[in-house]
Amino acid sequence: MLGVIILSHGSRDPDWGRPLEAVAAEVRRLSPGALVGCAYLELAEPSLAVCASHLVAQGVTELRILPVFFGMGRHARSDLPARVDALRQHHPDIHITCLPAAGEHPDMIRLLASIALEGAAPP
C-alpha cells in the first residue's frame, strides 16, 4: 500500500499549513487508495518520524516523501537525508523514496512562471 508524506519546514502559525493540507487532499483525490499525511521538520507537528510511523501502522509498504521546499537549502541537503536514513533504519521493510525538492521540479517551475504571467499583456 502506498503512503505519501507532504513534508515542509513548519511554522508556529497554525494557518501556515493550509496549502500543505490542500496538496495532501489533492493527492488523496488523485489516488484514493493512498494514505497521505503532512509532516514538518520543526516548529509544528507531526514530525516526519511520527507521520511515517502512523502510516506504517496503517499498512503502508511503500512511502514517498515530497519535500515542499523551493530549493535544496540546508534542511533539504543535510537534515532531511539524515532523517530519511533514520526512517529506513527504523522501518527496514518499507520502501522509502524521498523525492527532490518540489521547487526544483520542471513542472513547478513552469507553473510558477505561468502564474507570474497570468493575465499579462503580451510583449
Find the CATH number of the domain harbouring 65. 3.40.50.1400
* Residue 68 near residue 23 (C-beta atoms within 8 A): yes
pLDDT of 71 reads 75
For residue 76, tell me if it sits in a domain.
yes
Please list the ranges in the chain whose pLDDT falls under 70.
75
For residue 122, tell me if it sits in a domain.
no
**Residues with Cβ within 8 Å of residue 44, at least 6 apart in sequence:** 10, 11, 12, 16, 17
pLDDT of 63 reads 98
Structurally, the chain folds into a number of domains equal to 1
For residue 123, tell me if it sits in a domain.
no
The pTM (predicted TM-score) of the whole model is: 0.92
pLDDT of 57 reads 98
Give the residue among 4, 17, 11, 92 at the shortest CA–CA distance from 48.
Answer: 4
**Span 82-116, pLDDT tens digits:** 999 999 999 999 999 999 999 989 999 999 999 99
Q: Which domain holds residue 18?
A: 2-117
pLDDT of 55 reads 98
